[in-house]
Structure formats: C-alpha cells, structure tokens
C-alpha cells in the first residue's frame, strides 16, 4: 500500500460509523467501513456522458448527448457513476462509486462495457449489466464526503487493506464504548427511585437502605451493593410505606426515645 493511501486514512478524528454520518447536517469528510449490498436505483443509471470540451455531464439520461456548450461534434466520454447501498452494523447509506473506484473491480471502462451491451441491444443506463456485480458483497474502508442534502457519500478513496479496515473498526468500537460509559454515568437528578433488592427497600435519592425487618439505616450505600442474582423489582412509594408498616420505627427516632415519648403520654393521661 502506497504512503499516500496510508495518509488518506490516518485521520482518526474523521472516523465515523454509517449510523453517525446519517445524522450529519453539514458536508463532512469521513473515514468509514462497510459492505456493499445492493445497487441504488436512480434516474441517471450506472453511467453518464462527459463532454470533452467543457467537462460537463449529460443531463438527459437515455437520450442523445447534448452539452450546454453546444459542441456536439466531439464524442462524449462515458464514465461510471454507480450508487450502492453500503451496510455497517445493520445501518445503511448510499455511496457513489466513480470511474476510478469501479474500473479496478469491473475490469473494463464504462465505454468498453457499453460496447458489450450494444451487442445484446441492452445499452441503456437503467439496465445494469452483470459485470457490475463485482462491486457487491465486498468489505471496504472508505474515505468519502458525506452530503446531507443528497443523503449520500461521494467516495474519494477506497481500499480493502485489512490493516486500514481494522484500524477504523477499532476507533468506532472505542467511540461507542466511551459513549456507553458516558450514558451510564448520567443518572437523573432530583428523582426518587425506589426498588426492592435482597429484601431491602433502596432509596436512590438519599442512598438509604430501609430494612423490612430491622430499624437500621445506612448512609454508605454503593453501586456494588445493588448487584443481585435476581432482577430488581420496582416499587411505588405507597407500597414502600406498606412494606415498612406502622410498627417500624423511623431511622431518625431511636427505640429509647420512642419508649420515653410513649411513657410520657401515658403519664399525662393518668
């Protein structure tokens, strides 16, 4: 692999998954990986005509080439332009394969392929020859410009080099892992969440565990203490009161103080 190709895929900050590029709102150059799965039908088909004088394309697919520069004396150059759906982790997006990406895999130029199709009277941009199937079911690393307006990525460079694809995959996996950890660390604030775990009612706002059978309470609750072999069961505050019962003492009131209070009231009544 030449040095220029190594440099083309060396921008780790540009690495994005296909799921990420579909959320972009501005044109962005990205390094991606994915597998080609199917052709994407479009009004212009799999090739286009290019004027040799002004390098403009034919805007009338299937009809005789007419350029805006009015120079119709020269024969237009036929170029590949194939839209293919690329998949990665069950997400897909449209990628545009140009002449330089297609020829190495198809094995001939678009002009030569049209000559083959003319022999079978099937020379039409919307009729896709079997030769194009050489582009499908292949894993690639792409450097492409994603265009949100067209909802497609225009390929700048591609490779099947295993080292490049593995490097991009590792960056994507690392980014997803960091995002997962960040989401786990973000817990809702100001909300009381009560659940039953190992016969204890846990209040996640005050970090206090209320036992069903004792009057003890602790302020040293930790995430490790919530690990259980059985699923947690969510309880409403009303159900928590029923579990605690009227006979259980509040953690703020000791048994001695409660006895004194009850004794004082009985003395006054007498």
What is the CA angle 248-249-255, rounded to 5?
A: 125
Closest by alpha carbon to 143, among 162, 127, 129, 156? 156
Tell me the backbone φ, ψ of residue 119, rounded to 5 degrees: -70, -20
- Both tokens of residue 168? 């991009």
At residue 28 the predicted structure's pLDDT band, cuts being 50, 70 and 90, is very high
Tell me the backbone φ, ψ of residue 94, rounded to 5 degrees: -85, 130
Question: What domains are there in the chain, each with its CATH number?
Answer: 3-173 (2.40.50.140), 194-250 (no CATH)
Residue 58, pLDDT score:
57
Q: In this structure, are residues 129 and 47 in contact, taking their beta carbons and an 8 Å threshold? A: no
Decide if pLDDT at 77 tops 70: yes
Residue 53, pLDDT score:
77
Decide if pLDDT at 218 tops 50: no
- Model confidence pLDDT, tens digit, residues 117-140: 999 998 999 999 999 999 999 999
Q: In this structure, are residues 58 and 66 in contact, taking their beta carbons and an 8 Å threshold? A: yes
Give the mean pLDDT of 101-127: 94
At residue 185 the predicted structure's pLDDT band, cuts being 50, 70 and 90, is low
pTM to 2 decimals?
Answer: 0.63
Decide if pLDDT at 227 tops 50: no
Residue 217, pLDDT score:
38
Average pLDDT in the chain? 73
Residue 110, pLDDT score:
96
């Amino acid at each position: 692999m030449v040095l220029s190709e190594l440099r083309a895929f060396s921008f780790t900050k540009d690495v994005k998954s296909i799921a990420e590029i579909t959320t972009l709102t501005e044109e962005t150059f990205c390094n991606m990986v994915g597998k080609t799965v199917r052709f994407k039908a479009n009004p212009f088909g799999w090739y286009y005509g290019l004027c040799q004088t002004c390098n403009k394309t034919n805007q009338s697919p299937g009809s005789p080439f007419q350029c805006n520069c009015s120079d119709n004396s020269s024969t237009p150059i036929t170029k590949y332009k194939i839209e293919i759906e690329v998949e990665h982790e069950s997400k897909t997006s449209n990628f545009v394969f140009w002449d330089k990406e297609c020829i190495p895999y198809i094995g001939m130029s678009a002009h030569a392929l049209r000559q083959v199709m003319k022999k079978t009277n099937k020379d039409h941009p919307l009729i896709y020859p079997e030769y194009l199937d050489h582009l499908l079911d292949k894993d690639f690393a792409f450097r492409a410009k994603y265009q949100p307006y067209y909802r497609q990525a225009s390929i700048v460079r591609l490779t099947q080099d295993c080292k490049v694809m593995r490097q991009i995959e590792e960056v994507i996996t690392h980014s997803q892992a960091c995002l997962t950890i960040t989401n786990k660390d973000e817990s809702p604030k100001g909300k009381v969440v009560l659940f039953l775990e190992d016969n204890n009612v846990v209040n996640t706002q005050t970090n206090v565990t209320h036992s069903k059978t004792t009057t003890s309470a602790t302020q040293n609750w930790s995430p490790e203490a919530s690990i259980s072999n059985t699923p947690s069961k969510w309880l409403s505050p009303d159900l928590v009161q029923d579990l605690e019962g009227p006979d259980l003492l509040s953690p703020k009131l000791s048994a001695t103080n409660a006895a004194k209070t009850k004794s004082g009231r009985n003395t006054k009544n007498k």
